[in-house]
Amino acid sequence: MTDEPLDIGVLGYRFMGKAHANAFARLPMFFADAPDLNRAVLVGRDEAALADAADELGFARTATDWESVVDEVDVFYNLGPNHVHAEPSIAALEAGTPVFCEKPLAPGLDDAAAMAEAAADADVPAGIAFNYRFIPAIQYAKNLIEAGELGELRHFRGRYLQDWLVDPEAPWSWRNDEELAGSGALGDLGAHTVDLARFLVGDVAAVSGHLRTFVDERPVDGEDETRPVTVDDAYSAQVAFEDGTMGTLEASRFANGRKNDHTIEIEGSKGSLKFSLERLNELEVLREDSRGYETVLVTDESDPYIDHWWPPGHVIGWEHTFVHENYEFLSAVAEGGDYEPSFADGLAVQRVLDAVERSDDERAWIEV
């Protein structure tokens, strides 16, 4: 491991920028063996807003041109909108700079494939932000499955429900535009579910998908005009996994009353499990010969990552998942090791998202 602090460059300073900056600040407090970091440079377009964000998030300087940054820092974080994932990330990798990119990997399959190819050619880590892998309860579930506690897997159900677009007067944003986002609930929410499906069960062989847009245009904030919505508001899909497991996937940004409900259910020949992001410290487990589910509070010192935090029973939150994933990614950078989920994982998820869209267009099962 290098003894020199890693200079971090970050493109993007809003929601995800804050989440990762918070993780950078927490790492040395709770993970004593994490590499030292310098929040070196924050990249954006609006100079005034960028300066304020740099002060708030603890960055030493700002830049409005990512091209001047990617070969000067030790690690490049691409937390911008989906349509700016490919070019800066590829440039950084070609310069030999490790990259951490938000999900989905790209708006479409071609860009995702180009990013994965650049990562394969670069001898540095390239990670994608599937932070839900790093929830202790999900890691606990993974261990149960690998230990054979559930037996032969039969069913996987994954749904991700939010309600922030229920109001038809909610303003238009880049997330409503196909050219900028690629897809709507499918890529924004479904990417997380597909990654957990692959992480817990395995690769997807084929899908049958359905997409729906409920509101076709939205008002532009502060202007007397509307813009079209060119992405899905909700999707559902049937899934055939390569190992024979049956699956169903669903996501919506129109699920009234649901704020951030990401739910995973898996049934096997010996047992089952259930998880909800809104109760992320708990895992419901049905074991062989049990009469019903038990709720396991995954906060013991022996549980993944928990020894870094509080005494047993003192729960952690959503923001801690970013600390865990940054610990793993930055440790891989410092030690010259591998990191998962990688750009290859991001491409595998993108292939499933693309197949769901094609299935909806063709009204047919699509092989992934």
CA–CA dist 154, 161 (Å, integer): 23
- CA 74 from chain center: how many Å? 22
Residue 63 belongs to a domain:
yes
**What pLDDT, in 10s, does the model give residues 229-252?**
999 999 999 999 999 999 999 999
Of 129, 153, 173, which residue constitutes the final position of a domain? 129
Please indicate, yes or no, whether the overall pTM of this predicted structure exceeds 0.75.
Answer: yes
Confidence class of residue 302 from pLDDT cuts 50, 70 and 90? Answer: very high
Residues whose CB falls within 8 Å of the CB of residue 300, separated by 6 or more in sequence, listed in order: 306, 312
CA–CA dist 243, 262 (Å, integer): 24
Which letter, b or e, does each residue of 85-112 get, where b requires 16 or more Cβ atoms within 10 Å of its Cβ? bbebbbbbbebebbbbbbbbbbbbbebb
Confidence class of residue 2 from pLDDT cuts 50, 70 and 90? Answer: low
Domain shared by 221 and 90, yes or no: no
Q: State how many domains the chain has.
A: 2
CA–CA dist 145, 105 (Å, integer): 27
211: domain CATH number? 3.30.360.10
Domain shared by 139 and 96, yes or no: no
Domain shared by 323 and 334, yes or no: yes
Domain shared by 56 and 11, yes or no: yes
Q: Which of 251, 170, 182, 249 is nearest to 217 (CA)?
A: 170
**What pLDDT, in 10s, does the model give residues 31-66?**
999 999 999 999 999 999 999 999 999 999 999 999
Amino acid at position 255, single letter: A
**What pLDDT, in 10s, does the model give residues 71-126?**
999 999 999 999 999 999 999 999 999 999 999 999 999 999 999 999 999 999 99
Give me the DSSP letters along 171-189. Answer: PP-GGG-HHHHS-SHIIII
